[in-house]
Structure 1
Amino acid sequence: MTGKAGSILIVDDNKSILTALKLLLGNYFNRVVTLPAPTALVSTLRSEKFDVVLLDMNFSAGINNGNEGLYWLSEVKKESPASQVVLFTAYADIDLAVKAIKKGAVDFVVKPWDNSKLIATLQAAYNLSISKQEVKQLREIKREFRSEASMFWGDSEAMRTLRQMIEKVAPTDATILIAGENGTGKDMLAREIHALSARRDESLVSVDMGALTETLFESELFGHVKGAFTDARSDRAGKFEVASGGTLFLDEIGNLPYHLQSKLLSVIQSRTVTRVGSNTPVPVDIRLICATNRNLPEMVASGSFREDLFYRINTIHVTLPPLRDRPEDILPLAERFLSQYAARYGKNITAIDRTAAEKLGAYPWYGNIRELQHAVEKAVILCEGERLQAADFVLAQRDETVMPGGVTTLEEMESSLIRRAMDQHKGNLSQVAVQLGITRQTLYNKIKKYNL
């Protein structure tokens, strides 16, 4: 938060405190509203939404157990769930702070307050509010595509068994590890689990661990405070804080370097994060889902993945089968993508020709659902009739790098080279990158490019 931004509502029965805070916080918030009693709190929130609410814990004379504050906290969360609540009390009661945070408060300030600490706390609450609003807006934008991005279960026995398992565990808060090859839809399954959970109305925050650079690991996941490093111009909530109340999805967790695994384990165990540059732990309430395309038990045995972290993220283990192991799902999936892309590109294409369907069924789909999706999209673009023909599907030759006529493309050669290195090292991307002489991030980008 740089300069004045956002709005704050202050509720306290001490008028001198209200006056002092209005003067102080007027330098940091665009709008500061004060209430001398909580009786008008709900009606105020109905007429105006606030980014932050600073709420006193005690209002009745002689009562200092904080129960009033907890009651009014619950009322704020009912009426204005997006408002971030910081509690204000003259009594440094840690147990009460924990109770309040479990009920939805983001922090706790003790009177008499230190101005700089109070401002930092409220700014952090504001930044968290903005981060959550941004996630909500992205969710709203994606809502129109929800039908095309929803989970496709198919008719195979393996997927029926998986669906039964997911319907049992999704409503719980159990930590889930999703295993499966690239392109099998692990991120889609994570969204389905979140949609079936009690946290469905809160955010699902996804983090691609394979694309996260080591230098940004702590800042991205745990957040940072202003001045923690050169580009830290303001306090910023990390993914754990933004996901609090909802679900955190850590994709490709097997790519996390060993020396960073202990930091992740510590946060998962304590359910608190400490922002870079700060010494104050912040409690977080998340449901954790992880995914990997690698064999984590083998990595544990070889010493490249921490055993204690593996057991923490592996409460429930599910595996998405590759598309080649459920051929009965290939054509229904292709028809689903056909409907999606025909609408997107304004094409009057209604079906897949029998010879094209046979071609799709005979193809091994090493890139799984993602490869099939891209193949159908290209076919829709190329198609000139009302049915997709076999010739509309330009499928890679997996066992050859030579095209008809002996022509070899650089992309085919590169794709084949990467695939062979991945097979040789059994999916260990660090070893593959070393063998190929490229960075792991470059390798990861190429794997996505070629749907490997």
Structure 2
Amino acid sequence: MTSKKGKILVVDDDADVLQAARLFLKQHVKSIETEKDPNSIPTLLKNNRYDLILLDMNFTEDVSSGKEGFFWLQEILKIDPSIAVILITAYGDIDKAVQAVKAGATDFVLKPWKNEKLLTTVMSAMQLTDSKREVAELKETQKQINSDIDHHYRDIIGRSPAMINVFNTIEKVAATDANVLILGENGTGKEVIARALHRRSARHENVFMNVDMGAITESLFESELFGYVKGAFTDAKEDKAGRFELANGGTLFLDEIGNLPLPLQSKLLTVLQNRKVNRVGSAKSKEIDIRLVCATNQSLKEMVADSTFRQDLLFRINTIEIQLPPLRDRIEDIEALTDHFIKLYSKKYKKEVSGCSKETIKKLEKHSWPGNVRELQHSVERAVIMSESAILKPGDFLLTPEAGDSEQVVFDDYNLEEVEKMVLRKALKKHEGNISKAAEELGLTRASLYRRMDKYGL
């Protein structure tokens, strides 16, 4: 037996109508309340969460015009826009029904009603309330998620001339709806810039939808981006909106756009040109209103020359291009970035690390940073975790090797324990087992080095 759901309020000045509604609907819903005086509606809504209100259109003060019912309809929707309202009247006609729906009513029934018709209308209306509230909750959740993520990305650190140019472009472009293509090596912060564009745009109150194009397989491309309807394929158990629909009103960020295969590029181009999507299995088009931002670490112009990327798609997505410099070309930003990450991870891991020594900064500035800002971030995180000092020393940073540097250690992976074990072994070998010299180079005390050697069985 299906459990009863839903809480309904019936407002009508006719006691017989209230009794009839209560006797019938209590068999089908979890809770039903009745009220003769419409002036009680604000108080009832303040103290209760209803899924549906059945509202009389004509009270005794206004027998047939329906104006009082329309008035209370508007008051209800002001208090709770998600709630479904069905207007009931003995003087109904088509014109009044149309007016009611235009004014925000979910539906319109005549009294005396047929129970079967009333039940169908009530159940459909309560489902609509559930859907509205679910969408509102999802939007609020997404808004909070975006806010949390944006907090991490909020401060774009940089004072170098290359970054000043990036900042100036963001300020000029953000307020427009121009499509933006962000170019840069892996780890340069392309998503950071995309979020900055969104946050400074007129769409900042709406969703920022991030899609990694490299992670979507060809077979799932259309269903993920455009959505699908129930029955479109074997696993399509219900309708599902795609990323374009979910981003409606906000910003859609297509990361690694260069990884999109040619056959799928034409499908993406069609959607961008028409500003409409068709869910898989549906012939009905849905209009979309998005701001498009794309990013790639590849040269799309070279890909166009090699016929691996469509030129018309490139023209569509790169109204404005933003080129992010690699970290090796903005050395003057390394100290500020390092300080930022130290504060971030000291707080996260509850460590008393306050900064770096001058020698450490010099070491970091000499490194080529093939992984760019992301590599620096991970290096600082590891250093903060492992350091036993308030000031990070050169030995706290285990950097990937420079080309031709035989003294550097090559890592097969970046598991922190494996990296540390390998570096300890390298330092001990270099100093022929001299604990004092090895500890000094590693920026450790002799006791700390002994503890680590014991931990790793060295």
For the criterion TM > 0.5, the same-fold answer is yes
In the alignment, what sits opposite 2:394? Answer: 390
Q: CA deviation at 1:192?
A: 0.8
Question: Is this contact kept in 2: 1:153–1:160, CA < 8 A?
Answer: no
Q: Within 2, Cα distance between the matches of 1:281 and 1:8?
A: 35
- Secondary structure in structure 2 of the residue aligned to 1:227: coil
Residue 357 of structure 1 aligns with an amino acid whose one-letter code is I
Rate the CA distance shift 1:366–1:404 in 2: closer, same or farther, 3 A: closer
Rate the CA distance shift 1:262–1:373 in 2: closer, same or farther, 3 A: same
Q: CA deviation at 1:149?
A: 2.2
Q: Within 2, Cα distance between the matches of 1:310 and 1:176?
A: 11
Question: Is this contact kept in 2: 1:131–1:242, CA < 8 A?
Answer: no
Q: Within 2, Cα distance between the matches of 1:231 and 1:223?
A: 13
Q: CA deviation at 1:393?
A: 0.3
In the alignment, what sits opposite 1:137? Answer: 141
Question: Is this contact kept in 1: 2:6–2:126, CA < 8 A?
Answer: no
Q: Within 1, Cα distance between the matches of 2:31 and 2:278?
A: 29
Q: 2:159 aligned with 1:148, yes or no?
A: no
In the alignment, what sits opposite 1:363? Answer: 367
Q: Within 1, Cα distance between the matches of 2:4 and 2:215?
A: 34
Q: Deviations along 1:227-280, whole A, 9 cap, x unmatched?
A: 211221111111111111111111111111110111111111111111111111
Question: Is this contact kept in 2: 1:355–1:389, CA < 8 A?
Answer: yes
Q: Within 2, Cα distance between the matches of 1:45 and 1:200?
A: 31
Instruction: Choose which of 238, 257, 264 in structure 1 pairs with 2:261.
Output: 257
Give the TM-score normalised by the residue count of structure 2.
0.66
RMSD of aligned alpha carbons: 5.3
Q: 2:186 aligned with 1:176, yes or no?
A: no
Higher relative contact order (CA 8 A, sep 6+): 1
Q: Deviations along 1:291-311, whole A, 9 cap, x unmatched?
A: 111111111121111111111
Q: Within 2, Cα distance between the matches of 1:52 and 1:374?
A: 52
Residue 396 of structure 1 aligns with an amino acid whose one-letter code is T
In the alignment, what sits opposite 1:186? Answer: 190
Q: Within 1, Cα distance between the matches of 2:247 and 2:83?
A: 14
Residue 206 of structure 2 aligns with an amino acid whose one-letter code is E
In the alignment, what sits opposite 1:336? Answer: 340
Q: Within 2, Cα distance between the matches of 1:274 and 1:320?
A: 35
Q: Within 1, Cα distance between the matches of 2:83 and 2:221?
A: 25
Question: Is this contact kept in 2: 1:128–1:242, CA < 8 A?
Answer: no
In the alignment, what sits opposite 2:209? Answer: 205
In the alignment, what sits opposite 2:300? Answer: 296
Question: Is this contact kept in 1: 2:190–2:295, CA < 8 A?
Answer: yes
- Secondary structure in structure 1 of the residue aligned to 2:316: helix
- Secondary structure in structure 1 of the residue aligned to 2:188: coil
In the alignment, what sits opposite 1:415? Answer: none
Question: Is this contact kept in 1: 2:400–2:411, CA < 8 A?
Answer: no
Q: Percent identity?
A: 45
- Secondary structure in structure 2 of the residue aligned to 1:265: helix
In the alignment, what sits opposite 2:384? Answer: 380
Residue 260 of structure 2 aligns with an amino acid whose one-letter code is L
Rate the CA distance shift 1:358–1:4 in 2: closer, same or farther, 3 A: farther
Q: Deviations along 1:141-196, whole A, 9 cap, x unmatched?
A: 46356443214141111111111111111011111111111111111111111110
Q: CA deviation at 1:351?
A: 0.9
Give the TM-score normalised by the residue count of structure 1.
0.67
Rate the CA distance shift 1:201–1:32 in 2: closer, same or farther, 3 A: farther
Instruction: Choose which of 232, 241, 246 in structure 2 pairs with 1:242.
Output: 246
Question: Is this contact kept in 1: 2:357–2:391, CA < 8 A?
Answer: yes
Rate the CA distance shift 1:245–1:52 in 2: closer, same or farther, 3 A: farther
Q: Within 2, Cα distance between the matches of 1:291 and 1:227?
A: 34
Residue 385 of structure 1 aligns with an amino acid whose one-letter code is S
Q: Within 2, Cα distance between the matches of 1:217 and 1:278?
A: 16
Q: CA deviation at 1:32?
A: 11
Instruction: Choose which of 253, 263, 282 in structure 2 pairs with 1:278.
Output: 282
Rate the CA distance shift 1:279–1:369 in 2: closer, same or farther, 3 A: same
Q: CA deviation at 1:288?
A: 1.0
Q: Within 2, Cα distance between the matches of 1:200 and 1:152?
A: 17
Rate the CA distance shift 1:175–1:142 in 2: closer, same or farther, 3 A: closer
Question: Is this contact kept in 2: 1:244–1:284, CA < 8 A?
Answer: yes
Structure (1 or 2) with the larger CA radius of gyration: 2
Rate the CA distance shift 1:277–1:123 in 2: closer, same or farther, 3 A: farther
Instruction: Choose which of 313, 316, 321 in structure 2 pairs with 1:312.
Output: 316
Instruction: Choose which of 230, 233, 237 in structure 2 pairs with 1:233.
Output: 237
Q: Within 2, Cα distance between the matches of 1:317 and 1:4?
A: 56
Residue 212 of structure 1 aligns with an amino acid whose one-letter code is I
Question: Is this contact kept in 2: 1:124–1:237, CA < 8 A?
Answer: no
The within-5 A match list for 1:9-88 is: none
Stretch moving more, 164-173 or 129-138: 129-138
